[in-house]
Amino acid sequence: MFVTSEAVAARRGPLVVAGGVLAAIVVGSLADAVLALLALAVGAPDDFQPLMPGSYIFLTTVGVVAGAIGWAIIRKVSKDPEALLRWLVPTVVAVSFVPDFLLFGEGGAAGVVALLLMHVVVAVVAVFAYRKVMPLS
């Protein structure tokens, strides 16, 4: 059975959207935890604050919620939200790398590479969740 475009573009209720955003935060934070542990295991400094759970969980939450707000606005006002998001999401992720590059002195290569990977993983998880709970028309 095929899903029609009307079914795909259906609006989800606020609880479904909130659940999807919360799921993205949880999954993204778990993936961040794995990356942080791997980075620490391969030589990132033990006291590198961005690899501490409080830091990456908070920043993952802020990023996923901000992304959800942006996604919702774009899908509402854009004539072609898919095309806009196709270039906007990678651009925002690339711009989010800039502060991480400034942390080489504190976190070394292992720490900074882990942070960069965290941005990408959280973006992938978030976009997957947004597509499920806030489908593009």
pLDDT at 8: 46
47-96 pLDDT tens trace: 999 999 999 999 999 999 999 999 999 999 999 999 999 999 999 999 99
Q: According to the model, what pLDDT value does residue 10 have?
A: 60
Write the burial class of residue 132 (CB in 10 Å: 0-12 exposed, 13-18 middle, 19+ buried): middle
127 closest CA partner among 79, 80, 88: 88
pLDDT digits over 85-132, tens only?
999 999 999 999 999 999 999 999 999 999 999 999 999 999 999 999
Average pLDDT for the chain: 93
